[in-house]
Amino acid sequence: MKEERIVVTIDANGAMTAKTTGIKGERCIEELEALLSELAELDEVQHTREYKEKDTTVRHTTQQRQRLGGGNE
């Protein structure tokens, strides 16, 4: 699995930049918003070549259900 990385840099003037590696497509913006939502708004976005590539990440969701109660049904 390819490494996914977000590097956030804050310069001396307080300007923040963030660069992602290994995160493709719209998921890149979603991850940045999730990480930075409490700190800043995404003001200016410059898409890289990687943004235009298809995200091939497979996500697995597991859901468990438990029935409570007893007796005869």
| Domain segments of the chain as ranges | 5-45
Looking at residue 42, its pLDDT comes to 73
The SS3 assignment for 17 reads: strand
Helix extents (H) in the chain? 26-36, 49-52
Looking at residue 40, its pLDDT comes to 76
pTM of the shown model: 0.56
Looking at residue 13, its pLDDT comes to 87
Over its length of 73 residues, how does the chain's per-residue pLDDT go in tens digits? 678 898 988 889 888 888 888 888 888 888 888 888 887 777 777 777 777 777 655 555 555 666 676 655 5
Residue 5 CB partners (closer than 8 Å, separation 6+): 20, 21, 22
